[in-house]
Structure 1
Amino acid sequence: MFYQFYEMNHAALQPARAYADAVKLFCSNPLNPLSSTPWGRSIAAAAELFERTTRRYGKPAFGLPQTTVDGNLVAVEEKVVWSRPFCNLLHFGRDLPAGRRPDPKLLIVAPMSGHYATLLRGTVEAMLPHAEVYITDWTDARMVPVSEGKFDLDDYVDYVIDMLHALGPDTHVVAVCQPSVPVLAAVAVMEARGDRFAPSSMTLMGGPIDTRRNPTAVNLLAEEKGIDWFRDHVIMQVPWPAPGFSRDVYPGFLQLSGFMGMNLDRHLIAHKDFFMHLVKNDGDGADKHRDFYDEYLAVMDLTAEFYLQTVDTVFVRHLLPKGQMRHRDMLVDPGVIRNVALLTVEGEKDDISGLGQTEAAHDLCVSIPQSMRQHYVQPSVGHYGVFNGSRFRAEIAPRIVDFIARHGRQSRARPQPRLVRTSKA
């Protein structure tokens, strides 16, 4: 009933949101003399703050119409190239000159942890000048009818394998946060089967490979509560009239409240600063706040079976590092991976995936030659900074580009290229 109560409250506030929006428009209209006074701007700021903190944020757009390749500005077209009920595979096609040597194919596996794939907009933007970029665009579970069936961690692994098959050989895969475990499992399964479509390299970024190492508050909560607590307290049914009516889900608003609760003081200060930016008519500061929170507050539901299986496998029983994880009827053994290069990236101040949790992949992938593996810790960044922001563009993205260039199957015999810097500092 909690989900229904949440929906009822959201609907009940709709008239108040409409009134607040009208007040904001009235008090900020240039034809209104009050709009140029601190009092008028304060009323408009309060109205906008109320409307923004009570609305439901829709799925954002990637908004990447162009990029720079070889020093030239080229158009980018976003297109769905593979589709299943719970995911679309997006390709950011670049308008490149005919006959140009093709760039590496890069599959970015976005986290299915409450936010949309657009959270990785900066990751995609940084890679576009150097690769044919594809990204998993996971579907909000509340929008998938029950008739489409269930989706769990095993299905996630199958989706990754199917996408690698669709993209063909010599593809590189990057997993950001949560997908690190299913991507590593998918690669292990493919190597064990002798699958020729196994990727040339995998990059795992801020992922919970072994959450027993340097556990964070998120990890400790999962171990303390146990899987039964999560099943009893956070799994709810999608209310009518959403397309996924009666589907069991982990609601996105619960995940968001958990994330915000971890840094509540920071979010409160950010909203206070937003109010002051509006009162002072500081458009740049207000726009930065809007851009960040339009993305951060847009959340999606996860299927109950996927969420519970992930919590149990990764955070409660630690099955992958213990060598006990199974994909359907097959034991997942990272030790069979021999031909896929491995890069792991961590943030020094990551409070979601603690330092060392992603590096643990190297201890599991014992058969990968030393020349095909690399680990990097980015100083002074938290979880978000591992895949976005200025330090990502300046320090992490060039290392990924360099690693991919060195470990493509067509490139391994060539001299190693120099470290490539992205266009943004």
Structure 2
Amino acid sequence: MFYQIYELSHAAMSPWRAAADAMRLAYTNPLNPISQTPAGRTMAAGLEVFERTTRRYGKPEFGIRETTVDGQIVPVHEDIVWEKPFCKLIHFHRGLPQKHKPDPKILIVAPMSGHYATLLRGTVETLLPNADIYITDWVDARMVPMTDGSFDLDDFVDYIIDMLHHLGSDTHVMAVCQPSVPVLAAVAVMEKRGDPLAPRSMTLMGGPIDTRINPTAVNALAETKPIEWFRDNVIMRVPWPQPGFMREVYPGFLQLSGFMSMNLDKHVIAQKDFFQHLVENDGDSAEKHREFYDEYLAVMDLTAEFYLQTVETVFIEHSLPKGEFMHRDELVEPSAIKTVALLTVEGENDDISGVGQTQAAHRICVNIPEDMREHYMQPRVGHYGVFNGSRFRSEIAPRILDFIRTHDADKKAAKPRATRRRKRG
């Protein structure tokens, strides 16, 4: 019922929102002499804040049209190269210069935690000049009809394995935040099965591998509530007339309210500053605010089965670090990982995945050789700064690319040697 009330409130506000937007356009019209006065700008600013506060934010676009390769600006276009009901795999195809040597192929697994994959736009833009990038584009559960079936944590692992099979053995996988757990599980399953298409390396960034270490407010909530509490309080059915009508979901707006409540004072100050920037005609600062919140406030629903299984397995039972994680009827054994290099990245001020939670992957992946593993902790960044922002561009991304290139070269060099040994035998 709460989801229906939420939808009805949005519908009820639509006429007021349209009227506010029309009045804002009138007050900002350069032909209107009031638009050049403090009173006019104040009125327009208030109307825009109202319109943006009551708006439903749709799925953003990546909007990456070009990048720079070997000092040349080259076009970029998006291709969907793999697709299932709950995910599309996007390839950022670059028009490469002639004689350009092949770059490492990277599969970026975006978090399925309420925001769209476009939250990693900055990650993609930073890596694109030096890598062939693919990214998971998870589908809003409210847009998936019930006839397309369910989607849980086991399906997430299967999707990753399927994508790695599609991309081939020369792929490097990078998991940002939440998918660190299913990515590690998928790689462990592939190595245990002797799968020749296992990735060359995996990079885990700000992920909840072991949330018993430096637990955050997010972890504390999960540990203090039984799984029944989550089912009774945060799981709702998609209302009509959405394509996913009657599907049980964890609504994106609930996830967003949880995130915002953790730093509510900062968001309130940001809105106040935005209003002031508009009044002062500070267009650059106002535009930065719009860009950030257009992305941050665009949220998607998660299937109930995926959300509940993730909460129980990762945050309540800590199954992966305890060696009890099951993928369907198969025990996931991180110790089976022997040929896939491992890089973990954390942020010093991360308030979502505490320091040490991602590094714990090294403790459970005991059979990865020392020269194939590395950990990096970035000073003075929070969770978002682990995969975006100036420090990501200048300090984290170069380390990731260097690690990937090193182990990309190692594997390529190892294959001819193995072939020669077989021929001599």
Q: What TM-score do you get using the length of structure 2 for normalisation?
A: 0.96
- Report the equivalent of 2:160: 160
Contact 2:180-2:209 within 8 A present in 1 as well: yes
- Secondary structure at the aligned position of 1:321 is classed as helix
Contact 1:106-1:132 within 8 A present in 2 as well: yes
The residue type equivalent to 1:93 in the other structure is: H
- Which residues of 2 match residues 141-180 of structure 1 at below 5 A? 141-180=141-180
- Report the equivalent of 1:283: 283
- Report the equivalent of 2:422: none
CA distance in 2, matches of 1:54, 1:334: 46
CA distance in 1, matches of 2:409, 2:157: 23
CA distance in 1, matches of 2:315, 2:409: 34
- Report the equivalent of 2:419: none
- Report the equivalent of 2:309: 309
Contact 1:176-1:205 within 8 A present in 2 as well: yes
Contact 2:188-2:337 within 8 A present in 1 as well: yes
Describe the superposition over 1:107-133 as per-residue Cα deviations: whole angstroms up to 9, x where unpaired.
000000000000000000011011110
- Report the equivalent of 1:226: 226
- Report the equivalent of 1:380: 380
Task: Specify every segment of 5 or more residues in structure 1 that has no aligned partner in the other structure, as ranges.
Answer: 415-425
- Report the equivalent of 1:41: 41
- Report the equivalent of 2:140: 140
Normalized per residue, the structure richer in helix is 2
Contact 1:28-1:35 within 8 A present in 2 as well: yes
Contact 1:113-1:178 within 8 A present in 2 as well: yes
CA distance in 2, matches of 1:12, 1:137: 31
Shift, 1:97, TM fit:
2.7
- Report the equivalent of 2:261: 261
CA distance in 2, matches of 1:398, 1:266: 30
- Secondary structure at the aligned position of 2:5 is classed as helix
- Report the equivalent of 2:75: 75
Describe the superposition over 1:199-242 as per-residue Cα deviations: whole angstroms up to 9, x where unpaired.
00000000000000000000000000121100000000000000
CA distance in 1, matches of 2:126, 2:333: 32
CA distance in 1, matches of 2:102, 2:369: 27
Q: Which moved more, 1:66-75 or 1:261-270?
A: 66-75
Describe the superposition over 1:70-97 as per-residue Cα deviations: whole angstroms up to 9, x where unpaired.
1111100111000000000000000013
Contact 1:200-1:409 within 8 A present in 2 as well: no
Shift, 1:170, TM fit:
1.2
Contact 2:348-2:378 within 8 A present in 1 as well: yes
Contact 1:250-1:304 within 8 A present in 2 as well: yes
CA distance in 1, matches of 2:100, 2:220: 51
CA distance in 2, matches of 1:45, 1:20: 11
CA distance in 1, matches of 2:381, 2:281: 31
CA distance in 2, matches of 1:99, 1:274: 48
Shift, 1:98, TM fit:
3.9
- Which residues of 2 match residues 179-198 of structure 1 at below 5 A? 179-198=179-198
Shift, 1:101, TM fit:
2.0
The residue type equivalent to 2:215 in the other structure is: P
User: Over aligned residues, Cα RMSD in angstroms?
Assistant: 0.9
Shift, 1:412, TM fit:
6.3
Answer yes or no: is 1:119 the counterpart of 2:119. yes
CA distance in 2, matches of 1:277, 1:101: 47
- Secondary structure at the aligned position of 1:298 is classed as coil
- Report the equivalent of 2:418: none
- Secondary structure at the aligned position of 1:160 is classed as helix
CA distance in 1, matches of 2:38, 2:198: 61
Task: Specify every segment of 5 or more residues in structure 2 that has no aligned partner in the other structure, as ranges.
Answer: 415-425
- Secondary structure at the aligned position of 1:208 is classed as coil
The residue type equivalent to 1:337 in the other structure is: I
CA distance in 1, matches of 2:289, 2:154: 38
Shift, 1:99, TM fit:
4.2
CA distance in 2, matches of 1:267, 1:16: 23
- Report the equivalent of 2:417: none
Contact 1:211-1:357 within 8 A present in 2 as well: yes
Contact 1:170-1:409 within 8 A present in 2 as well: no
CA distance in 1, matches of 2:304, 2:51: 30
CA distance in 2, matches of 1:387, 1:257: 22
CA distance in 2, matches of 1:85, 1:99: 38
The residue type equivalent to 1:26 in the other structure is: A
Describe the superposition over 1:117-173 as per-residue Cα deviations: whole angstroms up to 9, x where unpaired.
000000000110111100000000000000000000000000000000000111000
Contact 2:200-2:411 within 8 A present in 1 as well: no
The residue type equivalent to 1:91 in the other structure is: H
Q: What TM-score do you get using the length of structure 1 for normalisation?
A: 0.96
Answer yes or no: is 1:361 the counterpart of 2:361. yes
CA distance in 1, matches of 2:403, 2:72: 24
CA distance in 1, matches of 2:174, 2:160: 11
The residue type equivalent to 2:273 in the other structure is: D
- Secondary structure at the aligned position of 2:129 is classed as coil
CA distance in 1, matches of 2:163, 2:411: 23
CA distance in 2, matches of 1:409, 1:382: 32
- Report the equivalent of 1:392: 392
Shift, 1:25, TM fit:
0.3
